């Protein structure tokens, strides 16, 4: 048995899961929040998800966060020695055209991750900080970089090239990259098991509906099209992100508001989406609670559902019909009302609803009726397990 750490390092946070592999058993999980900000908090949970440790600590940077995490693993007797940790897998958001699979971290890999920060300026530098902090703390452990964009490297050229001068792609790498690849990869694999069919024989659509959201068409086990494009700002309406908008709108509103391009991108990333439409909350639960009395809350929900249905319809046409439809992530797993609205809009495809299954969470479940022409499923995502499996591939 090997213990593998799966790490998701953000600009001010560090999320982890510790697995015992190949049994795929969670040993512990946790989150260090507000790194480098006032009142950083550390939370460690055991295998059952119960909080073992939670308190505020002085954590000025990722180096200290990693040192503290490893110290707590020893103090809480989660591990008896750092030597038990055979490998560390790191989620990296942008792999560009350079990485189509997970790779062992080398100096060249770190250099390339740093170069790719222009495609994910908020994410790649933070991902790299996590990689380097764990390298210093666990020099014996195999370090593997797992790229969120790698799953989408199978997109056909017609689905990743934009209708702009082709030289932009050749010279500057402008193309559709997609996101949430680790999540989409995991849930389509689970869907095939639930449907008791080989993944290579299936046409599926995966809807990752969380604070960030993307939809992915998967044909014969490979990503065929996806709603996020050059950046995670595009695609469907999200909690605070606009999704697709007419690019002329950006130039128009920059002039009207008198703001810089960076400020405009900030507004589209942080003040738009469900929050921008409703004017009071990005949380789908708040919007659903006020739909009957607040027009803008209802409008935000209706636009979100419309956008999801639009992309599903597009992808059904692209792949020539589907065998299965998957909902995952926060809204996708937990919001029965949203799934019901989407499924009712897709009744023309022969989709029926198993009402008693819509609100089931925490497990893989079929939520379509027995007579449904398409199998619709709720599957909780597990990006960390995909990372741990990729690390094990290098340890095997």
Is 91 flagged in the annotation as binding? yes
Average pLDDT over residues 384-392: 95
Work out the pLDDT band at 187, boundaries 50, 70, 90. very high
The answer to the question of residue 152 being in a domain is no
% of the chain exceeding 70 in pLDDT? 100
Domain membership flag for residue 10: yes
Alpha-carbon span 45 to 16, nearest angstrom: 10
- Do both 134 and 245 map to the same domain? no
Question: What local confidence, expressed as pLDDT, does residue 58 receive?
Answer: 83
pLDDT at position 60 = 84
43/105 same-domain check = yes
What is the arrangement of strands in the sheet containing 324-328, beginning at the earlier edge strand? 222-226, 213-219, 203-209, 324-328, 375-378, 365-366
Tokens of 326: 């998957």
Q: Are residues 8 and 90 in the same domain?
A: yes
Same domain, 218 and 331: yes
Residue 357 resides in a domain: yes
- Ligand-binding site membership of 285 (annotated): yes
283 is in an annotated binding site: yes
Share of the chain above pLDDT 90, in %: 76
Q: Does the pLDDT value for residue 23 go beyond 90?
A: yes
Q: What is the mean pLDDT of residues 326-352?
A: 95
Last residue of a domain, one of 129, 147, 165: 147
Confidence check: pLDDT of 396 > 80: no
295 is in an annotated binding site: no
pLDDT digits 0-9 by tens, 27-73: 999 988 888 777 888 999 999 889 999 888 888 888 888 888 999 99
Segment 225-239 shows an average pLDDT of: 93
- Is there a domain that residue 245 lies in? yes
Task: Tally the domains of the chain.
Answer: 2
Q: Is 383 annotated as a binding residue?
A: yes
For residues 161 and 155, what is the distance between their CA atoms, to the nearest angstrom? 10
Q: 210 among the known binding-site residues?
A: yes
Same structural domain, 69 and 205: no
pLDDT (mean) for 363-378: 96
Rounded Cα distance between 207 and 184, Å, is: 8
Average pLDDT value for residue range 203-220: 95
Q: Is residue 225 part of a domain?
A: yes
The pLDDT, as a whole number, for residue 51 is: 92
Domain membership flag for residue 290: yes
Q: How confident is the model at residue 11 (pLDDT cuts 50, 70, 90)?
A: low
86 within 8 A of 5, measured Cβ to Cβ: no
Measured torsion, CA atoms of residues 354, 356, 358, 364, in degrees rounded to the nearest 10: -90
| C-alpha span between 144 and 394 (Å, rounded) | 8
212 and 313, same domain (yes or no)? yes
Cα Rg of the chain, angstroms: 21
Residue 42 domain-assigned (yes or no): yes
Tokens of 333: 């797993």
Q: Poorest-confidence range of 61-75, 156-170, 245-259, 371-385?
A: 61-75
Q: Are residues 130 and 203 in the same domain?
A: no
163 located within any domain: no
8 A C-beta contact, residue 31 and residue 14: yes
CATH number reported for the structural domain that contains residue 133 in this entry: 3.30.420.40
Which of the listed residues 147, 181, 209 is the one where a domain comes to its end?
A: 147
**335 and 229, same structural domain?**
yes
Q: Which domain holds residue 39?
A: 2-147
Residue where a domain stops, chosen among 114, 147, 180: 147
Which residues, at least 6 apart from 286, have a Cβ–Cβ distance to it below 8 Å? 278, 280, 297
Q: Write out pLDDT tens, residues 95-124.
A: 988 899 999 999 999 999 999 888 877 788
Active-site residues: which are they?
148
Q: How far apart are CA 191 and CA 323, in angstroms?
A: 10
Residue with the larger pLDDT of the pair 246 and 41: 246
Same domain assignment for residues 103 and 22 = yes
pLDDT averaged over the chain?
93
pLDDT tens column, 270-311: 899 999 999 999 989 999 999 999 999 999 999 999 999 999
């Amino acid at each position: 048995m090997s213990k593998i750490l799966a790490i998701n390092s953000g600009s001010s946070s560090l999320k982890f899961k510790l697995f015992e592999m190949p049994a795929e058993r969670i040993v512990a999980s946790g989150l260090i929040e507000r790194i480098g900000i006032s009142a950083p908090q550390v939370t460690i949970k055991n295998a059952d998800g119960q909080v073992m440790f939670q308190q505020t600590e002085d954590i000025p940077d990722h180096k200290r966060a990693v040192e503290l995490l490893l110290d707590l693993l020893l103090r809480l007797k989660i591990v008896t020695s750092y030597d038990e940790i055979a490998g560390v897998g790191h989620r990296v958001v942008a792999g560009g055209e350079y990485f189509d699979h997970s790779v062992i971290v080398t100096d060249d890999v770190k250099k390339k991750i740093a170069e790719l920060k222009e495609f994910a300026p908020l994410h790649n530098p933070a991902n790299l900080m996590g990689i380097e902090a764990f390298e210093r703390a666990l020099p014996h452990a195999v370090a593997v970089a797992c790229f969120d964009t790698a799953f989408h490297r199978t997109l056909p050229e017609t689905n990743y090239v934009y209708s702009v001068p082709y030289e932009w792609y050749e010279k500057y790498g402008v193309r559709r990259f997609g996101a949430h690849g680790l999540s989409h990869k995991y849930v389509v694999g689970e869907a095939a098991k639930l449907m008791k069919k080989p993944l290579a024989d299936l046409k599926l659509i995966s809807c990752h509906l969380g604070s960030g959201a993307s939809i992915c068409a998967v044909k014969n086990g490979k990503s065929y099209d996806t709603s996020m494009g050059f950046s995670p700002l595009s695609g469907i309406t999200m909690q605070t992100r606009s999704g697709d908008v007419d690019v002329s709108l950006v130039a128009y509103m920059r002039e009207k508001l008198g703001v810089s391009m960076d400020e405009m991108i900030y507004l589209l990333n942080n003040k738009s989406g469900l929050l921008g439409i409703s004017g009071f909350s990005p949380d789908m639960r708040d919007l659903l609670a006020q739909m009957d009395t607040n027009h803008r809350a209802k409008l935000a929900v209706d636009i979100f559902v419309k956008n999801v249905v639009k992309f599903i319809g597009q992808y059904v046409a692209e792949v020539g019909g589907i065998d299965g439809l998957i909902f995952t992530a926060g809204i996708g797993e937990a919001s029965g009302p949203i799934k019901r609205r989407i499924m009712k809009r897709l009744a023309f495809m022969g989709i029926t609803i198993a009402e008693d299954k819509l609100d089931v969470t925490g497990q893989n479940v079929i939520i379509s009726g027995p007579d449904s022409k398409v199998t619709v499923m709720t599957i909780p995502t597990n990006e960390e397990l995909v990372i741990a499996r990729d690390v094990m591939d290098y340890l095997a």
